[in-house]
Chain A
């Protein structure tokens, strides 16, 4: 170590546009190496898991090690199908946004396993406090595509009545909490929800998702601290997709070795998981859910992945990162990896995969046609104007009625 280091330090990403990205120095634990302890061990005993990387699918696309959830081929095909649908849905929504048919969109390209595998590992009765890149949760829980689209174009069938940005879904029947535009509020709120469930004697688990950038918010630390204090049945997912819009993950991570490691200081079980490995996400979520359900408390789970597309339709990532970074990401693509695994098992083939893509594309096309029959962003019909004054309070208020009548609607 040099005797004189600069005392002023602002971390910078390893590669900027024009650089040749190279991840060969990423020292990631190999699939199958991480041990799977009993879910009720002390939080601090997960130290190696917080610093390592839980993986199941190896470079030959074989399922290896103790974290393999040993899913049936049917379950894996279902997961693959949800991921393919999520990707095709995203792709279509982006194109529609580019043509001006919706104002804004956010894709989850490359992160499909994180939401789809979690939804499948949890029970449908478990509560979800997501962020804005987990549309796979909705798809895996069977939300109607037409309803998702109607929300995104704010038409007459939008269940949020034109009050929320596209992608900020809320779906009460699906136990999917309304997505907050404020970063991180969902972590302490998930603790409150989970404590409520525990107080009522239910065995529900509450899962929440934030991104690597949001770990810098006070709510991340408040949530972990409070869950630690009250041993709340919560799963805190930190989706480390390397980029918070243009800020690379090091800006939020600081000198911590991993995001998962931040959970150790609070005494919480802390895991770092290959987020592009469907089986690893499934296995780890199952472990954390079992821990929470049996009274072991919260788990912090860092999902290590790469945001393969722009942050949102308002973002142009070519301005701040090399274009090829995503293509050479060492953990590959979650759909491709699960597909190759199934092919290796003799449970899938290219032809069936193509047929699946064709079927899902047709489904999305058909759904969008139906969604537009309930109105388009520009020509309506949209949510009725008078509904603007509803739901401010739980019961109607004469003052709001008066404002509505003053407007003549």
Chain B
């Protein structure tokens, strides 16, 4: 096929120039590197070298022409073995028909329809899996969330020697919140590693180790301090598998307490749920009780993707029943209906699940039967469970501890209005923190954070009660 020679740019900003002189004529043979023309702008002159070899078939622009646009065809070369018949039907500057052989999807789309209703139900049937069956007769042990997380790490470290934990104070001190208690004693300093105080630095080390085939658990003393590590979490951990064309992935868990503790002020109290759940390539988990904390952390450690595991300082010490099963692993991406109800769906994650359950109890006294959906995983979000619940209750209240703008509740409300619009009997309502940095003083902090009463008020609003 004939080759087009294009008007070159002298600089990144050049848009057009003058074709000052041709050094070749039709019929000349040129080889790569031969100077075939000179071009000028008001600032400089440049020689145009042939990039390909061949015979000049046509000069498309006359010598002395001004205002030749960059990358416009200026000449046509014939390749070796071609004669002028190759020019028939060849028009400079027009693209040949794209070859689309490589563009055929390996799997034909089921339907090219953009219809929302079609898209909705078809694919929701793909389930993330179910919680493992707990055989009857299984005993349960009351365990704190803190110890359940510890047990999960210890079990996975026994199972897979590439798993290790690193972070500030995780070894000698047993963790700032004692979540890594006795791990150093069992696994030694090679796999329980104290780091200097640089979240950005040791997150980068963890990411590098994960690239290299290990399975690091990076503990942040709180996710508030991980804000400076977010470049490694998002730009490297979450995106590298994609950017490298699938060659290099990052199996890593970033874990630690998220959200407010008690009176630690604006810089130590932020909820990052919506931030991380916004990022393709990350999985984001925020469990409530001890059994979920254990089963989901084990799943997170085994997952081949980077996982952000959001814990909550104020529930570390709460105890819940954990089944005495040898290997209790839960599916990532599966919500859990904590309480069945028929009048309204309340979605919540992490500590807000406890508030939602308390609100549901009080609402029951007023004759409102609330269903509580514990999201457990924020990315990928189990929209199937949420949408099915709303189809049953026809009302939605979302509850989250963080700020509401662009938040988790906003996403859920969008999904529900898109996929269950006709089922809704009221606009969805969102419960969230007030739109201010969290104040320190106890009275202001309490007013700023969402609680049981806020959820009750929102439920009554969507039920048009009171």
Contact = CB atoms under 8 A, between A and B. Distances in A.
Interface of A: 92, 95-96, 98-101, 127, 129, 156, 158-161, 163-164, 168, 170-172, 177-178, 180, 182, 185, 187-197, 199-200, 218-219, 222-223, 225-226, 229, 313-316, 361, 365, 368-369, 375, 378-386, 390-395, 397-399, 401-402, 404-406, 408-409
B211 A185 contact: no
Contact of B105 (A313, A395, A409): A409
Given A185-B231, A384-B104, A98 B9 contact: yes
Nearest to A409: B105
Interface string B201-236: 111111111111110100000000000000110011
17 contacts: A161-B245, A188-B202, A189-B211, A191-B204, A192-B206, A192-B210, A222-B198, A226-B202, A229-B196, A365-B52, A378-B95, A380-B103, A385-B103, A394-B241, A394-B305, A405-B119, A409-B109
B200 interface: yes
B109 A408 contact: yes
Contacts of A229: 196
B240 interface: yes
Given A365-B53, A381-B98, A404 B109 contact: yes
B49 interface: yes
A174 to B, nearest CB: 11
B280 A386 contact: no
Interface stretch (B246-254, B264-272, B293-301): B246-254
B262 to A, nearest CB: 31
B12 interface: yes
A315 B211 CA distance: 33
Contacts of B122: 402
B443 interface: no
A405 B110 contact: yes
B205 A189 contact: yes
Which are the 6 A-B pairs with shortest beta-carbon distances? A192-B208, A188-B204, A222-B201, A189-B208, A408-B112, A100-B71
B159 interface: no
A396 to B, nearest CB: 10
Contacts of A129: 208
B91 interface: no
A381 B232 CA distance: 33
Contact of B236 (A180, A391, A409): A180
A111 to B, nearest CB: 20
Nearest to B205: A192
Nearest to B7: A99
Contacts of A159: 245, 247
Contact of B232 (A171, A185, A392): A185
A95 B48 CA distance: 9
A316 B245 contact: no
Nearest to A161: B245
B138 interface: no
A398 B119 contact: no
A195 B205 contact: yes
A100 B245 CA distance: 24
Contacts of A383: 102
A244 to B, nearest CB: 17
B32 interface: yes
A194 B211 CA distance: 11
Contacts, number: 218
Given A159-B247, A189-B232, A381-B99, 18 more contacts: A95-B8, A156-B102, A163-B245, A172-B248, A177-B211, A180-B235, A188-B203, A192-B205, A192-B209, A192-B210, A192-B211, A380-B100, A380-B103, A384-B104, A390-B246, A397-B380, A402-B122, A408-B109
B325 interface: no
Nearest to A198: B190
Contacts of B209: 192-193, 195-196, 199
Contact of B99 (A99, A177, A380, A408): A380
B211 A398 contact: no
A100 B70 contact: yes
B49 A95 contact: yes
A16 B125 CA distance: 66
A226 B198 CA distance: 9
The contact size tier of chain B is 35 or more
Given A172-B244, A381-B101, A405-B109, A226 B33 contact: no
Given A189-B236, A193-B212, A379-B98, A226 B201 contact: yes
A314 B244 CA distance: 24
A182 B53 CA distance: 39
B200 A384 contact: no
Contact of A192 (B7, B11, B196, B207): B207
Given A100-B70, A188-B201, A189-B204, A391 B6 contact: no
A365 B103 CA distance: 27
Interface string B150-182: 000000000000001000000000000000000
A395 B244 CA distance: 15
B212 A225 contact: no
Given A189-B204, A197-B212, A381-B101, A365 B198 contact: no
Contact of A185 (B119, B236, B244, B246): B236
B464 interface: no
A99 B8 contact: yes
A98 B53 CA distance: 18
A23 to B, nearest CB: 26
Interface in B1-46: 5-9, 11-13, 32-33
Nearest to B112: A408
A225 B112 CA distance: 54
Interface in B99-133: 99-107, 109-112, 114, 119, 122-123, 126
B466 interface: no
Nearest to A401: B123
Contacts of B13: 316
Contacts of A391: 241-242, 245-246
Contacts of A98: 8-9
Contact of B198 (A92, A225, A381): A225
